Structure 1
Amino acid sequence: MKKISNKTKVLVVAALTVMGLSIFIGLAGAGQGEPGTGSDPLVTQSYVQSYVDSKLKNQPAQGGSGWQVITIQAGQTFAGHGGTEFVLRSGRAVAVDPSTSGILDMTSGGNVRANQAVPANHLLMTPKSDGRGFKALTQVIIMCNGGADIR
């Protein structure tokens, strides 16, 4: 019978230690949100869609988080709250700006100043809650993310 050398014994112990640590780390991580575990169960696409749809239906008409489609009638004024983003999808409007800075046009990198036409399909932002926004010349449809006052 062959005698096992000390070098071989050390290698076997090291390999077993590495394997043991790998299994331990794997089991410890499994309890912290691994897909399919109790802390992160699998769900169906229909469940997720139903959940998202219910959340969108319960959002307020103005304000809140997430993009909303809002119709504004001719003659009404839209004054965005600080950080409100909006995109003019149809209709015509002119900027309302009590300051002189304008509304940030994030698409072009410029500003839309008072009485200038609001460009369609540009991502615009009202940086402050100081009355900046637009006046609808015709019926306007916008996508809005954030709060606003419509008068």
Structure 2
Amino acid sequence: MRRIVKFIALTTLVGGVMAIGSILNTPADGAGTTPGTTDDPVVTKSYVDQQIQQALNGGGGGTTNPTNPTQPSQGADEVKNVALKPGKVLIADAGTEFIVRSGNAVIYTEVASGVADLTDGKDLLNGETAPKNHLLSFPREGRGIQVKEGQTSNLIVMVRGGYTIK
């Protein structure tokens, strides 16, 4: 008999707690909005990626290179092999990275400061030889590489980021 009383008391207690809990149920902040409305829009992954890319690019739209509209800048993570002909200069956008794969290259800058050789941890100044298979970082625009004087074959460079060929 004691077991039946305990069972009835426990069942009544659990039922009462559930009833009080359902009466006092209040939604969390923001949970009362309907998905797909202006208060809680549903967006696609491509839209979110586009907004992130715009934020990373300083709020601007797409990335094109105004100095040479036929040669658009590359995406931040895209790596492209570029063949640079003798007499041409490969100018990097700010933050672009190069790796010289074949041929002989020299650093080109319009200013006194240079280009960061991240592999050796030093700066390379205008006219210095760019070592092969070294990661070069271009912190500002107006810096790049060119084919070393006297070389007749193309220079092959891996590029991550935007660039212009002059």
Asked whether the two chains share a fold, i.e. TM above 0.5, the reply is yes
1:111 equivalent in alignment to 2:126:
no
- Partners of 1:119 and 1:62 lie apart in 2 by 26
Aligned-residue CA RMSD (Å): 3.8
Q: Give the Å deviation of 1:73.
A: 1.5
Q: Deviations over 1:37-87 (max 9, x none)?
A: xx88xxxxxxxxxxxxxxxxxxx7542312211101123221212222211
1:68 equivalent in alignment to 2:73:
no
**What is the TM-score normalised by the length of structure 1?**
0.59
Q: Structure 1 residue runs of 4+, over 4 Å off?
A: 10-16
Partner of 1:134: 145
**Any idea what SS the aligned residue of 1:99 has?**
coil
- Any residues of structure 2 matched to 1:43-62 within 5 Å, and which? 61-62=71-72
Query: Given the superposition, is the C-alpha separation of residues 74 and 14 from structure 1 closer, same or farther in structure 2, using an over 3 Å criterion?
Result: farther
- Partners of 2:157 and 2:21 lie apart in 1 by 63
Query: Given the superposition, is the C-alpha separation of residues 12 and 125 from structure 1 closer, same or farther in structure 2, using an over 3 Å criterion?
Result: same
- Any residues of structure 2 matched to 1:93-112 within 5 Å, and which? 93-112=105-124
Q: Percentage identity across aligned positions?
A: 25
Structure having the larger proportion of residues in helix:
1
Partner of 1:150: 165
Larger radius of gyration: 2
CA contact (8 A) 1:62 1:146 kept: no
CA contact (8 A) 1:95 1:135 kept: yes
Q: Which amino acid is 2:164 matched to?
A: D
Structure 2, unaligned runs of 5 or more: 37-42, 45-69
Q: Give the Å deviation of 1:13.
A: 6.2
Q: Which amino acid is 1:135 matched to?
A: Q
Query: Given the superposition, is the C-alpha separation of residues 109 and 15 from structure 1 closer, same or farther in structure 2, using an over 3 Å criterion?
Result: farther
